Structure formats: structure tokens, C-alpha cells
Amino acid sequence: MAARWATQLRARLVELAAARRARTELGRAPGELEPLRPWSHGTARGPSDRPPPVVAVLTYRGVSSTEVELVGDALARALAAEVRLVSADGGPVVAVEPARQIVTEPLDDVPEPFGLVVPGGLAWKLEADRPEVARWLGRVARSARGVLAVSTGSLLLASVGVLADRDATGHWLAADLLADLGARPSSARIVHGRLLVTAAGHRAGIEAATELAREMRFAPR
């Protein structure tokens, strides 16, 4: 028994050492996703062309990386826009679902985006309680051409008063919290408030992005 245990332990130590070497050589553990960095669907081809519009995606520790990437990309692709990933402190942010590092810039580096995506995450309340996040989100959510919140991202929007007396959806367990924050909870997958849209999850958010992009192009705010 002791000999077999020792053999298994040695094998496990070898595996751990190989994993450490791989992390050192590759900058990440085997199977770990590449860090998510800003990207663009812009079509500008020369210095005389107008720069592409900017879609800001609010990120924070524990945010859903699926919602950041897929919903942010859906809106940016439909607008031929550039995606800017922002957070309160800038620098790397650890996301979940799946676990992934997100490379971000400070909020004030993106003061007037054309579009805003607010993904969900378990730590939404911690972000809502940060004065710098509340100030930036409240200002940008009212000035951006279009806003799309997903899952508990709707709670973040509601926390700064943007959803007061408006129909809104989000995470299926958060209806009471939405009501407490002044919104009118809906069980719909998507609630279109013209240029302010809330979605129950990332699949609904991807669907909502196409319609929101159309509104952002043609409808007066």
C-alpha cells in the first residue's frame, strides 16, 4: 500500500512540475484560455476615414467572461465597432464562466462610448457600491447611444437609477432585487426599451444586440 501511494505521489509531482513548466513557457496553464483583450470590427482603412464607434464593456472581478465576449462581440460586430474593456482599476480582471483573465483599461479612459454592455456577475453588488463605478455607469448609461445589460448586469444599471419605473429583465432569481431598485421586473427573455435593452442571459443578449444595433443606427434618442 505504502509503495503504491509513493509511486502515485511521485507521478503526481511529475505532472505538477510539467504544468508549472508549461505555465512558465506559455504564460498560462494547459487548457487555460488566452486572456481576453480589446478587439475591433471597425472598417476604417486610412487616416482620412472616421474611426469606428466604440462599445464599452464594463468588467469586474467575477464577471461572466461569456457575456463579456459573446454579447460584447455581437453588438460590436453589428455596429462595425471597436470593443473597449473597462474596469474600475484597469489592468487584469479575473472573470468566471469560464475562468479567464480579461485585460482592461480604467473607466475614465473611455468616457463617451457609443454603446455600453453591462454583463452580469456574482460580485455586481460590490461594483455597485464603488463610487467611481456608480458615477461612470450612471453617466455613460445616460449618454451612450445604446445600452445592453445582461443577467445581473440589469441590477447594476438599476442601482444607478437608470431602470427606475421601467420594465426590465435579468437573472431569473433577481426579480425581487430589481423591484427593490426601482425597476418593474419582467419574466421575458428580452425587454426592449428602445435604446436601453435588458436580457436574461448571454443567448438572449446576443439576440438583443442585433435589434439594438439597428435602433442605434437609425432611431433618434
> What does the pLDDT look like over 20-54, one tens digit per residue?
443 333 345 545 789 999 999 987 555 557 899 99
> How many Cβ atoms from other residues are within 10 Å of residue 45's Cβ?
7
The boundaries of the domain holding residue 2 are 1-32
Helix or strand or coil: residue 68? helix
* Whether residues 9 and 79 fall in one domain: no
Residue 4 pLDDT > 60: no
* Whether residues 27 and 58 fall in one domain: no
Kindly state the average pLDDT of the residues 126-143. Answer: 97
* Whether residues 130 and 165 fall in one domain: yes
The answer to whether the Cα torsion of 124, 213, 143, 197 is positive or negative is negative
Do residues 113 and 94 make contact, with C-beta atoms less than 8 angstroms apart? Answer: no
Q: Is residue 77 part of a domain?
A: yes
* Whether residues 101 and 23 fall in one domain: no
Nearest to 98 by CA among 61, 65, 57, 60: 65
Do residues 38 and 82 make contact, with C-beta atoms less than 8 angstroms apart? Answer: yes
Q: Rounded to two decimals, what is the model's pTM? A: 0.84
Q: How many domains are there within the chain?
A: 2
Which of 32 and 7 is assigned the larger pLDDT? 32
The answer to whether the bond into 92 is cis (omega within 30° of 0) is no
- Among the residues of 27-99, which ranges form H helices? 65-66, 72-79
d(CA 2, CA 97): 39
- Among the residues of the chain, which ranges form H helices? 2-26, 65-66, 72-79, 124-128, 131-143, 153-159, 175-180, 202-218
State how beta strands 190-193 and 196-199 pair: antiparallel
pLDDT digits (tens, 9 = 90+) for 58-105: 999 999 999 999 999 999 999 999 999 999 999 999 999 999 999 999
Using the 8-state DSSP alphabet, how is residue 106 labeled?
E
Average pLDDT of the chain is 87
* Whether residues 5 and 78 fall in one domain: no
Kindly state the average pLDDT of the residues 16-20. Answer: 42
* Whether residues 10 and 119 fall in one domain: no
Q: Is residue 46 part of a domain?
A: no
* Whether residues 4 and 60 fall in one domain: no
